[in-house]
Amino acid sequence: MSQTTGNKIKALFNACIDLPYIEQISFIQSSDYSDEIKQKVLRLINYSGDIDAELSQVILDTAQEGLESQSIKKDEKIDQYKLLNKVGEGGQGEVWLAIRDDGEFNHQVAIKFIKTSATEKELQRFQNERELLASLQHPNISALIGGGQHQGRLYMIMEWVEGVALFAYLKKANLHLKDTLKLFLQICQAVSFAHSKGIIHRDIKPSNIMVTTDGLVKLLDFGIAKPIDAELTQTQSDAMMTFAYSSPEQIRGDSVTTATDVYALGLVLYELLTSQVAQCRTTESPAEYIHIITDVTPLKPSAQLLNNTVDNPHFNAKLLQGDLDNLVMMCIRKEIDRRYKNADEVITDVNNYLLSRPLLASGDSLFYKVGKLLKRNPLTSLLSTAVLVFLITLPVLMYQNGVKLTEERDRAQEQALIANKTTEFLSTLFQATSPLGHNGEPIDLNSVMAQGERQLNLDVDQQPLVVAALSTEFAQIYHHLENTPKAITYYQKAIASYKQAGDLEGLLAAQGQLALMYFRSDHLDKSDEVFEQADATASLIRNSREAVLHMTRKATVETERGEREKAAVVIEQTFNHLTDENHQDVELMSRIYHVWGEAIKYSDKERALEFAIKSTEYEKKHVGKLHPFYLLRINSLATRLMRLNRHKEAEIVLDEVLELSEGLYSNDHPEYASMLSGKGGFLHDLGYFVEAEKVYVESLEIYRKFYGEKNFQTARMINNLAYLYEDMHMYQKAKPLYQRSVELRFELDPKNTIRVATSKGNLARLLSKMNEFEQSDLLLDELMPVYASHNRNNLYNEIIRFANLVGNGESSENCESALQKIALIEPNLKKESAEGWRRLGAEVWISQLLKTCQNEDLAMQWLLAAVEKSVDVYQSDSDGLQYINQLLSDWQNSE
């Protein structure tokens, strides 16, 4: 039986196919078949035949396409229209050109049919577009004329757009910049109209924008548009998105808003201006795409042009620099709430540009850049966030103030000028030193400041107001850097400039700050002198905001001098004269409540807490949470709560304090130390002495390193540490610390007798406990009159007096007399808080005095009362509680 050619080919192929390739060749060559067969099989073995998937795909595609093209034919009639020819097809269906066939008009329309095999989702999309378009009658949106169902297929009849796609049009039209922007405005107007109807397009891209021969823009394809307030759960599948024009929020599946369309408009404008897509599309990996869209900020349009990547740029890069760059970049910011809110705002800014007016858009603010930088690098040691935040927010605040004062036009303009000048100055300053240019490198604030100073001193042509504003800022920065001499220098310079400019409010602010600086640096005479000058200035602008602030500064100084009642009077009077406008001023109100609370924190703790809460709330409204000012406020709030023994609440607030301060400061910064010492105080109060010691020592070290020894903060920490050692019965350690505290307070502010006196009171108590009764009494002689003259309660000092009187208990007469006196003050002591350590400490001590006087029953009564209270004062597992329990058990054992 003779084989056909085909049989032979197959036989030879099958015979060799399982061999390795080389052997296949020699096998074929050495076979008996004809050359024709051999050649054929030699060709065949070069083909793998791995085309299973491809074959299947072609068959499937053909099956599907075939099904689609079955039902619609030329010349069919749809409503009153006759189908002329198919003009388009795609994933969704097909589009036919049709003409009105009832002899009425020669009117052409486009009829869009959905494919027969449409899924539920696609049907939904089609219906959606049909419904939305019905409500969108606008010259720049292709109009819906009708719709229905034909042979089971949904269709819609649309206005026929005789035109070309956007970029095809541009290539031909060769428009000037202005005309290009006007064309863009038409796109925006279509989107704005949709937004006004509550519809977000969600799929704006060049291929959805057509331009008619008359230059009229038509926005197409509202297929995935949706009402603004629609449920967001089922947004869209990947298949419906074109990656390159999708917004970060769409990629992430976040909520879509009108700003999503703004983003796409920005991309279109970018492309119109640069002839280049904003986001690179060279990657094939979806993950990389997602990264680019959500994280990578494109080059500014002008930079894109300068980058030389565009062969034949339509526009010059210089044309785009500044406003247009800013406008585009504002549209395409990754963060939805930092873009224009909707198409209207884009239109406003394009018009602003066309009319050479200032734009809403500005580049990323320094504040934003610094914020981002700080997020990346928690602070380096040289840098204080407070300073930077201050540095940046001040001009912004000034600018906003400038904008607010519209009724006082001249003044507003002047303010705006200063603000702009200041911002400009700071911008160039930052650019010159370029601390922001180097990602990740620490900012050397000193070099920034040095550069700024040079610049300020060089620029002699500056107007006095600008010099004043800048000097004030430098002063503030140095103030925050704790560089008092420099701060003083710049406040003086600011005062001179404000005087020159005749700006009384600025003058008053600078004078007040200078007075505070002098006070804090313990130049009290100078402080008083400048305050007097400031009073004179304030009397000229009695009802101004600045005059109110002046009063708060005065109250602060009184409080810090220990003249709390005076301070309270000053602030209460100020408060009673506040205007409605003042009450709306969150910054001012926060300040007032804070200063007031500080003034009354010993005399009316409940009210002080109330004020602290108010102050904190106002400050949050003023600066938000992650800000040094807010930190200061909630720290006070924590202290107020502690003073009221509301420990649970205090602990919650303290946790927030420490969290914020860790975020804001480096851990060798005095602000951080101050938060730490707050925590130390908290632990101390609850009886956790060992833990408190660590924290106190750490804060003291930071203060010493930063301020040196001669400083109130250092002195305060020394005093607190001494107190802790006293509570731990480590008198030898406590003594030199108390002594040092007294010395420092005297050296720093000899006139502040009450502050020195409280310090001496502590030392007197300790000396008495160390049996140095005479020394203790001498101190009491000095300090008790001071307490009396300041209306301070001498109760605890009197107890020291009795202890000294009892002494070693050798004189029964003295014992008798002391016991009587103790009985006399007992009612007063009972008025003191039962939950405070102060009263507890006094009661334990009294019980020991009674024991010394051998009045053991009474002594035991006092001790038991103290033990009972100690449970409320100290935590159950604390050192404090343990000390007291130890005392009790020692006593019981000795009997």
Partner 1 sequence: MVEVRSKNKEALDKEIYQQLRALARKMMAKERSNHTLSATDLVHEAFAKLSVGDLSFNDQQHYFYTFARQMRRVLVNYALHKKRQKNQAEILHFSDSLGLADAEFADFTQIDQAIDHLENIDERSAKTIELVYFTHLPQSQAAEYLGVSLATLERDLKFGRVIIHEYIDNLS
Active site residues: 203
- 51: which DSSP letter? -
Q: Smallest distance from the beta carbon of 144 to partner 1, in angstroms?
A: 16
Q: Smallest distance from the beta carbon of 418 to partner 1, in angstroms?
A: 53
Q: Name which of 849, 854, 843, 844 is nearest 895 in CA terms.
A: 854
Can you tell me the distance from the alpha carbon of 771 to that of 766, in angstroms, rounded to the nearest whole number?
9
Tokens of 183: 């064309």
Task: Compare residues 113 and 531 and give the one whose CB is closer to partner 1.
Answer: 113
Q: Smallest distance from the beta carbon of 59 to partner 1, in angstroms?
A: 3
Q: Name which of 719, 725, 717 is nearest 698 in CA terms.
A: 717
Helix (H, G, I), strand (E, B) or coil at 44: helix
Q: Smallest distance from the beta carbon of 656 to partner 1, in angstroms?
A: 47
Can you tell me the distance from the alpha carbon of 496 to that of 490, in angstroms, rounded to the nearest whole number?
10
Can you tell me the distance from the alpha carbon of 129 to that of 145, in angstroms, rounded to the nearest whole number?
13
Task: Compare residues 17 and 788 and give the one whose CB is closer to partner 1.
Answer: 17
Cβ atoms of 113 and 72 within 8 Å: the answer is: yes
Count of residues in the chain: 895
Q: What are phi and psi of 42, to 5 degrees?
A: -60, -35
Task: Compare residues 67 and 232 and give the one whose CB is closer to partner 1.
Answer: 67
Q: Smallest distance from the beta carbon of 69 to partner 1, in angstroms?
A: 6
Task: Compare residues 47 and 105 and give the one whose CB is closer to partner 1.
Answer: 47
Task: Compare residues 17 and 652 and give the one whose CB is closer to partner 1.
Answer: 17
Q: Smallest distance from the beta carbon of 50 to partner 1, in angstroms?
A: 8
Can you tell me the distance from the alpha carbon of 800 to that of 767, in angstroms, rounded to the nearest whole number?
9
Q: Smallest distance from the beta carbon of 88 to partner 1, in angstroms?
A: 3
Cβ atoms of 247 and 263 within 8 Å: the answer is: yes
Which are the contacts of 83, defined by CB distance < 8 A and separation ≥ 6? 72, 73, 74, 75, 76, 77, 96, 97, 98, 111
Can you tell me the distance from the alpha carbon of 657 to that of 650, in angstroms, rounded to the nearest whole number?
10
Q: Name which of 254, 275, 273 is nearest 202 in CA terms.
A: 254
Q: Smallest distance from the beta carbon of 264 to partner 1, in angstroms?
A: 14
H/E stretch holding 93: strand 93-100
User: Which residues are bridge partners to 154 per DSSP?
Assistant: 149
Cβ atoms of 361 and 327 within 8 Å: the answer is: yes
Question: Tokens 């030392």, residue?
Answer: 763
H/E stretch holding 227: strand 226-227
Cβ atoms of 241 and 250 within 8 Å: the answer is: yes
Contacts made by residues 561-567, CB under 8 angstroms, sequence distance 24+: 561/749, 561/752, 561/755, 562/752, 562/754, 562/755, 562/790, 564/598, 564/599, 564/600, 564/601, 564/602, 564/603, 565/599, 565/603, 565/791, 567/595, 567/598, 567/599
Tokens of 159: 């206005």
Task: Compare residues 243 and 707 and give the one whose CB is closer to partner 1.
Answer: 243
Can you tell me the distance from the alpha carbon of 379 to that of 682, in angstroms, rounded to the nearest whole number?
27
Task: Compare residues 122 and 560 and give the one whose CB is closer to partner 1.
Answer: 122
Beta strands in 284-339 (DSSP E): none
Q: Smallest distance from the beta carbon of 36 to partner 1, in angstroms?
A: 13
Task: Compare residues 240 and 467 and give the one whose CB is closer to partner 1.
Answer: 240
Can you tell me the distance from the alpha carbon of 104 to that of 97, in angstroms, rounded to the nearest whole number?
18
Q: Smallest distance from the beta carbon of 120 to partner 1, in angstroms?
A: 7
Using alpha carbons, list the distances in angstroms from residue 396 to 419, 707, 719: 7, 31, 41
Residue 483 burial (CB < 10 Å; 0-12/13-18/19+)? middle
Q: Smallest distance from the beta carbon of 286 to partner 1, in angstroms?
A: 13
Task: Compare residues 43 and 542 and give the one whose CB is closer to partner 1.
Answer: 43
Can you tell me the distance from the alpha carbon of 641 to that of 647, in angstroms, rounded to the nearest whole number?
7
Can you tell me the distance from the alpha carbon of 75 to that of 85, in angstroms, rounded to the nearest whole number?
8
Tokens of 731: 């008198």
Can you tell me the distance from the alpha carbon of 493 to that of 510, in angstroms, rounded to the nearest whole number?
9
Cβ atoms of 323 and 181 within 8 Å: the answer is: no
H/E stretch holding 689: helix 689-707
Can you tell me the distance from the alpha carbon of 538 to that of 511, in angstroms, rounded to the nearest whole number?
10
Can you tell me the distance from the alpha carbon of 815 to that of 858, in angstroms, rounded to the nearest whole number?
13
Task: Compare residues 203 and 558 and give the one whose CB is closer to partner 1.
Answer: 203
Task: Compare residues 43 and 409 and give the one whose CB is closer to partner 1.
Answer: 43
Q: Smallest distance from the beta carbon of 142 to partner 1, in angstroms?
A: 13
* Residues making contact with partner 1 (CB under 8 A): 5-7, 9-10, 13-14, 17, 43-44, 46-67, 69, 85-92, 94-95, 116-120, 122, 203, 207, 221, 223-224, 239-240, 242
User: Which residues are bridge partners to 100 per DSSP?
Assistant: 81
Task: Compare residues 92 and 753 and give the one whose CB is closer to partner 1.
Answer: 92
Cβ atoms of 199 and 227 within 8 Å: the answer is: yes
Q: Smallest distance from the beta carbon of 47 to partner 1, in angstroms?
A: 4
Task: Compare residues 147 and 841 and give the one whose CB is closer to partner 1.
Answer: 147
> Phi/psi zone of residue 217: left (φ > 0), alpha (ψ -120 to 50 degrees), beta?
beta
Which are the contacts of 548, defined by CB distance < 8 A and separation ≥ 6? 574, 578, 582, 588, 592
CA angle 738/740/744 to nearest 5° reads: 120
